[in-house]
Structure 1
Amino acid sequence: MNTPLSRRTALQSAGATVLAAGLTSMTATAAGAADGADAAPKLVTYPRPSAMPTNTSFKVRVRSAPDGEWQTLDIWRPQLSEINAATGSSKVYNSSLAYFDFQGSVEIEVTYLKGGTTKARVRPDSYGIKPEVLGDTLRLTLDQPRNIVVQINDDIFDCLHLFARAIEKKRPAPDDPNVLYYGPGVHTTADGYLTVPSGKTVYLDGGAVLKATVLFRNVEHSGLAGRGVLAGTVDGGVLVENSRNIAVGAVTVLNPNGYAVKLGEATGVTIKGLGSFSSKGWGDGIDVFCSSDVVVDGVFMRNSDDCIALYTHRWEYYGDTTHVTVRNSTLWADVAHPINIGTHGNTDNPEVLKNLTFKNLDICDHREPQLNYQGCIALNPGDRNLIKNVRIENVRVEDFRWGQLVHMRIAYNTKWSTAVGRGIQNVYIKDLTYTGKPLATCLLLGYDAKHAIKDVTFENLVVNGKVIADSMKKPGWYLTTDTIPMHANEHVLNLKFLTTAEAEEAAAS
């Protein structure tokens, strides 16, 4: 087990190799000491180790508003990918990332070093951030933590991802016996894993890079925290197996080999503030297998496969997946789905995915040429899985490249499944908004009468400004689904489209 305990002992740890190190910046140290002391403006910036690659498209400066001292941020290089629909090959793009913490408000200055700026967009669009554009330099102000993307001239790959997080309220002492501390610099372990014992927290300080998968196996009351980076890991960023009461904080996972986070037979897991980028095949964001009481909050996921995927049985994991909440987050799927539920399960001993909540989300993109794998929100039970009690609320979908807004299908996908799913029951989708080019046809497909989709309600579905409701004005021979457009087959039962007023009236009656 490789567990360096502090800055002083890191070099002595048998399992850890420090390739580059340094002390926390004076700005970070001062801010850490003052955490919680008052509400005065604060700004914390972090170094990028020289061993980590950078990108040269942007220069970024930040200062406490209105007249703090400008500080230049280090730029990191996440990599992103796009699949060639004709060949199946992928093209990898270099992109940019910068991050800092603040309290109060900050002014940010972004300069596009390639020049030729004709337009600038700050995403998600729902934040309503309109930067001041001065040639190739733009300025914007934030008065609350945001994860944003600055996009120049409609370039979605050579763009700037900016994580402006809240000041950490609790920073552990490096020599705390319950903390496995990694300071700024690049760290490795002998076998590519960092195994975390029960009751211990791994703390990656800002500017720290750990090239190891953080492993929680058969442990409890453990965690991962800090503002550091997991990069180039061997088996995903974080792996939680047969463990309970695990907390994963606002670290950033850069281009792992595998998923950013994988949960298997885990209970009581909180993932808050995580950032993730991937470019390799099967580069999922957060995958949950056979786990319960999971909360994903305030994450930013930009992935080369599903951003959030919920399943039951696969590999050595068995059991239902229940009580999962994903909220206050931004999802960007360069490949596959922002949200995918139900593909994998246990045909011999069927399992259930139930009590699933998705709330206050921005979906920036979805690109998937394969019709069987489309859907910004996809419910695709296979392997005799049953999906029930799903609540999706206040989700804003921006103009995506390729796919469907919603896809629900009782599937027997012989490539990934050994049997048809049992069904989908009781799905409530409220305040789902799409703004963009005309939609491709959404699909709701039951398999047969015994494997149906039942009791799906859309409340205040808004497509390009139009509220979709059964009561809307339309030709009498049109279906409500024609106006989206959506195709629901004969094995979709009790499908409703309501306005908010109609829903409230029905609830009161």
Structure 2
Amino acid sequence: MRLRLGLPPSLPRTRIIMTTHIADGVAQYEYPREAPRSPDYRVRLNGRDETVLTTDAADFIQFEFADATRACAHIEIEASRALGETALRPLSRGVALEALSDRLVRFTLDRPMNLCLDPKGLRPLFIYANPPETGLPERGAPGVHFFEGGRAHDIGELRLRSGETLYLEGGALLRGCVRACDAEGVRIAGRGVLDGFCYAERSERRRSIVFENCRDLAVRDIVMIRPTAWMLVLARCRGARVENIKQIGEVVSSDGIDVVASRDVRVTGCCLRNNDDCLVVKSIAPGYRSGDASHDWSGDVENVVFEGCALWNHRAGNAMEIGHETVTDRIGGIIFRDIDVMRVDGHGAVFSIHNGGRALVEDVTWDDIRVEHHYDKLVDFRVMVSRFSRCDQRGVIRGVRLRNVRVHYAPFNAGYTISLIGGYDATHRVEDVRFENVWIDGQKLTHPDQIELFTRHADHIRFD
């Protein structure tokens, strides 16, 4: 299926952005006073103060390379106390971090990218350096919900209809959630911030953005913070594009991007910090409507690509997950490619398939994956019954490939980190799992003992 990207061509391409300063091709955004500031960091960008916003899980800055042909961002970060051992992740970006003192570091960027300063003893600081913004809607155009930068907007629940666009200008703070149901051609874009914390104040749990039974949809560029539940859900959708989304989730169940019973989905260039599964594929049992769902979220999943993303999974969930809800006939054609796993802090896995339903889960590929940190499990592929199971039948897992994977082991991994591949019984098995060109701290993986792999009801596991 050919996806129509960007905003509707009938909308004028007018640039309207509130900035405090543009220098060396870099634009800074102006935020309202209601946006909470960081008590831990002061940042200077090309010699000017940059606003550092805060959440309970991490702080962040965001700016734009307005002119990519001559962009240069010199960034100095001063912490409120000594930084200790500090990494600038993803390490694959190769950005050199210079320590000027025990509280002051600096680095330079010459192109757009998403990074995370990860110091020992302080909350992380995310740096979202955006590419030039294109394809912008005109304020006041029909079907455009335009929210101005530099202001806080309380939207409650905003429902989008077919052909409508939600645009968050850089520096805008939206408080609420967004829904689209039975719609086509919906767009969400902009460099503003969607804040779900208002529902925590009301003791409600609402998913931040939900698309149900939609076609030809696109979400790009926004920052999502302080959710009370799953952050971005594509449920029974077909033809979806998600690009350059940034998320910081604190609460358990703050899943990042949930692809539920959907087809023809592409997720690229996102930077996700979640306290549950970061990238996840599911199919929920017919008739079971959890939370604020208005439709059944059941059906096969096919042709889903996650690419070029950076992930931080905190204590709940997994970095890249299929399951636990798998009540459908087939989940297949799933690709995770060019992914940086910055951290997996809890008892979840980097690579996980939890087939808790009746599905045939097959044709799943992880390719070009870099793992900087994990703790409890590297691989966890199981056919199982869990508290999320909603049917009595069990399924099968087969045809899984992990190729071109590089994993860093820290001293604490030895004796603690394991891998699991297990079927439910002799009939509902895991079959045909291949590890191809997988490296553990510079040693090629050729034997299951290298990853302390435990198996049950599993066949044809190969190391090439």
TM-score (norm 1): 0.80
Judge conservation of contact 1:216–1:240 (CA < 8 Å) in 2: yes
Larger Cα-atom Rg: 1
CA gap 1:365/1:119 in 2 versus in 1, 3 angstroms? closer
Judge conservation of contact 2:339–2:369 (CA < 8 Å) in 1: yes
> Which residue number corresponds to residue 63 of structure 2?
100
**How far has the Cα of 1:383 moved from its partner?**
1.6
**How far has the Cα of 1:59 moved from its partner?**
1.2
> In the aligned structure 1, how far is the partner of 2:299 from the partner of 2:420?
29
Pairing 1:151-162 to 2, within 5 Å after superposition: 151-152=118-119, 154-155=120-121, 158-162=123-127
Pairing 1:17-416 to 2, within 5 Å after superposition: 24-25=18-19, 27=21, 42-63=25-46, 70-80=47-57, 95-102=58-65, 103=68, 104-135=70-101, 136-152=103-119, 154-155=120-121, 158-184=123-149, 185-189=151-155, 192-232=156-196, 234=199, 235-314=206-285, 315=289, 316-334=296-314, 335-346=316-327, 350-369=328-347, 374-400=348-374, 402-414=375-387, 416=389
Judge conservation of contact 2:240–2:265 (CA < 8 Å) in 1: yes
- Is the partner of 1:380 in helix, strand or coil? strand
CA gap 1:281/1:247 in 2 versus in 1, 3 angstroms? same
**How far has the Cα of 1:111 moved from its partner?**
2.9
1:127-184, Cα deviation, whole Å (9 max, x unpaired): 22221211122221112211111123x23x5121110110112222212224211002
- Is the partner of 2:228 in helix, strand or coil? coil
Which amino acid counterpart does residue 50 of structure 1 have in structure 2? R
> Unpaired runs of 5+ in structure 1?
1-21, 32-40, 64-69, 81-94, 470-479, 499-509
- Is the partner of 1:379 in helix, strand or coil? strand
> Which residue number corresponds to residue 465 of structure 1?
442
Provide the identity percentage: 25
* CA root-mean-square deviation: 1.9
> In the aligned structure 2, how far is the partner of 1:201 from the partner of 1:415?
35
CA gap 1:414/1:260 in 2 versus in 1, 3 angstroms? closer
1:409-439, Cα deviation, whole Å (9 max, x unpaired): 1111245443353111111111111102235
**How far has the Cα of 1:281 moved from its partner?**
2.5
> In the aligned structure 1, how far is the partner of 2:125 from the partner of 2:93?
16
> In the aligned structure 1, how far is the partner of 2:382 from the partner of 2:113?
35
- Is the partner of 1:168 in helix, strand or coil? coil
**How far has the Cα of 1:109 moved from its partner?**
2.6
CA gap 1:282/1:292 in 2 versus in 1, 3 angstroms? same
> Which residue number corresponds to residue 444 of structure 1?
421
Which amino acid counterpart does residue 294 of structure 1 have in structure 2? V
> Which residue number corresponds to residue 203 of structure 2?
none
TM-score (norm 2): 0.87
> Unpaired runs of 5+ in structure 2?
1-15, 200-205, 290-295
Q: Does 310-319 or 457-466 show the bigger shift?
A: 310-319
> In the aligned structure 2, how far is the partner of 1:118 from the partner of 1:278?
25
Judge conservation of contact 1:323–1:354 (CA < 8 Å) in 2: yes
> In the aligned structure 1, how far is the partner of 2:388 from the partner of 2:146?
43
Which amino acid counterpart does residue 60 of structure 1 have in structure 2? V
**How far has the Cα of 1:227 moved from its partner?**
0.2
- Is the partner of 2:326 in helix, strand or coil? coil
Judge conservation of contact 1:413–1:420 (CA < 8 Å) in 2: no
> Which residue number corresponds to residue 10 of structure 2?
none
> Which residue number corresponds to residue 472 of structure 1?
none
- Is the partner of 1:126 in helix, strand or coil? helix
Judge conservation of contact 2:358–2:394 (CA < 8 Å) in 1: yes
